[in-house]
Amino acid sequence: MKRYKYVIQLFLLKIVAMIKNLSILFIGIFLLTACDDGDIIVTTFDYDNETDLRTCSGDLDPNSDNQTAIIYNINNETYETIALAFTRNGFDGTFVRISDEDSNIVQDSTVTINLSTTNRIIYRTYNNQLPNDYFCQSIPPSSPQVNQEYISADGGYVEFITTIIEQDDNDGVPTEANAEDNYNGPYETTDPLDENYDTDGDGIPNFLDTDDDNDNVLTRNELNAEDLQTPVDPITGLADTDQDGIPNYLDEDDDGDGTLTRNEDLNARDELNEDGEPFLNPQDDVNENDLPNFLNPNISESIDPPLEELRDNNISRRFRTIVIAKNITLNKTNSDEQITLETLELGRFEVTVNQTLIVVLE
């Protein structure tokens, strides 16, 4: 009986060994069938809204004739790239709107493009590092070589969420947020409900308005009483020529002579610019003592007909755009493999531009 028990034990051990071998064989077959010619299948993408995206020079220039653009990220630590090639349709990573229909400051804007044969996301891995201008070269370089490539299929879309991160008229009157520590003068409000939000009523709030009273003398040139050889407003410490309690930079008639400052620009139409418009500069109409007419209460002569033209309101603004793809399918080149993603954050890029602000109500 003991002999039979020993044989049975050996038989059971052999069965267990066979099962283990079959398990190992099954795992090996599974790994071979799960891989495509030895390539690693990509199921995750290491990108988020902090990923730095680049553009090729001039691609998003608002004055450029380029109809297409490429936004991309190159990671030379992992030898991978992601790029979005798309038709611009006027998109440049900025917007010029100031306020909405409720007079609230517009802080962001969203533009959507549909993915197609012309609007495509391309993800690649390579066998070596890439030059920073890889996507901007007219002829693609032969090296490094592409190991894997995934291209978006038709369907799905990409959102460009653009936000203002910095803007100021730099006119010498700051908001509380951007004032220097030792500043003790007046502030420009960012509250649409404040009565001093837009003192000249042109739709451009004072903190973005380079000429707060629309008198065609820039605000920064109306502040210093000593430079203007004119009296000081005791409350603000700024120039107030006619001593009416309204500092010059907010006063449309600085010397109180009954003629609007902008209409004391008598030589505005002597020469016209290339667009047939007058040169707007009341500061160059002066008497023998170099005192401008608009600061001289003894001279009230007005240009005829009165000027309706105003100086352009040019300021610098910085924008940040986050790029998010939604409901997309990525097809692997030369393979049947597909990856479907509900959301893929590609990253972000920033643009700084000089803009002429206009009022657009939505």
174 part of a folded domain: yes
Per-residue pLDDT averaged across 239-253, rounded? 97
Per-residue pLDDT of 27-41, as tens digits, reads 333 333 333 444 445
192 part of a folded domain: yes
3 part of a folded domain: no
Reported confidence tier of residue 62, pLDDT bands at 50, 70, 90: confident
In this structure, are 211 and 174 located in the same domain? Answer: yes
pLDDT for residue 14: 42
31 part of a folded domain: no
What does the alpha-carbon distance between residue 249 and residue 223 come to, in Å, rounded to a whole number? 6
In this structure, are 193 and 281 located in the same domain? Answer: yes
In this structure, are 194 and 295 located in the same domain? Answer: yes
pLDDT for residue 142: 87
Whether residue 43 has pLDDT greater than 80: no
For the chain, percent helix, then strand, then coil, each to nearest 5?
15, 30, 55
250 part of a folded domain: yes
36 part of a folded domain: no
In this structure, are 349 and 270 located in the same domain? Answer: no
pLDDT for residue 1: 41
Whether residue 25 has pLDDT greater than 50: no
Which segment of 20-29, 151-160, 341-350 scores lowest on mean pLDDT? Answer: 20-29
DSSP per-residue string spanning 118-184: SSEEEEEEESS---TTGGG-SS--S-SPEEEEEEEPSS-EEEEEEEEEEEE--SS---TTT--TT--
In this structure, are 303 and 324 located in the same domain? Answer: no
Average pLDDT of the chain, as a whole number: 87
pLDDT for residue 11: 37
In this structure, are 134 and 186 located in the same domain? Answer: no
In this structure, are 135 and 108 located in the same domain? Answer: yes
- Cα-Cα-Cα-Cα dihedral sign, residues 127, 130, 135, 141: negative
pLDDT for residue 12: 37
Reported confidence tier of residue 103, pLDDT bands at 50, 70, 90: confident
In this structure, are 257 and 235 located in the same domain? Answer: yes
In this structure, are 229 and 326 located in the same domain? Answer: no
What does the alpha-carbon distance between residue 79 and residue 174 come to, in Å, rounded to a whole number? 46
Whether residue 115 has pLDDT greater than 90: yes
What φ, ψ does residue 309 adopt, rounded to 5°?
A: -70, 145
Whether residue 22 has pLDDT greater than 50: no
Q: Structure tokens of 335?
A: 């393979």
Residue 314's CB is within 10 A of a number of other CB atoms, namely 11
In this structure, are 138 and 234 located in the same domain? Answer: no
Reported confidence tier of residue 359, pLDDT bands at 50, 70, 90: low
In this structure, are 175 and 287 located in the same domain? Answer: yes
In this structure, are 201 and 305 located in the same domain? Answer: yes
35 part of a folded domain: no
DSSP per-residue string spanning 65-85: ---EEEEEEEETTTTEEEEEE
Print the SS3 string covering 221-259: HCCCHHHHCCCECCCCCCECCCCCCCCHHHCCCCCCCCC
13 part of a folded domain: no
Per the structure, the count of domains in the chain is 2
Per-residue pLDDT averaged across 268-294, rounded? 92
Reported confidence tier of residue 8, pLDDT bands at 50, 70, 90: very low
Show the domain range for 63. 54-165+318-356
pLDDT over 70 for what percent of the chain?
Answer: 86
What does the alpha-carbon distance between residue 351 and residue 89 come to, in Å, rounded to a whole number? 17
Per-residue pLDDT of 283-306, as tens digits, reads 999 988 889 999 999 999 999 999
Per-residue pLDDT of 137-186, as tens digits, reads 988 888 999 999 999 999 999 999 999 999 999 999 999 998 998 898 99
Look up the pTM and report it: 0.80
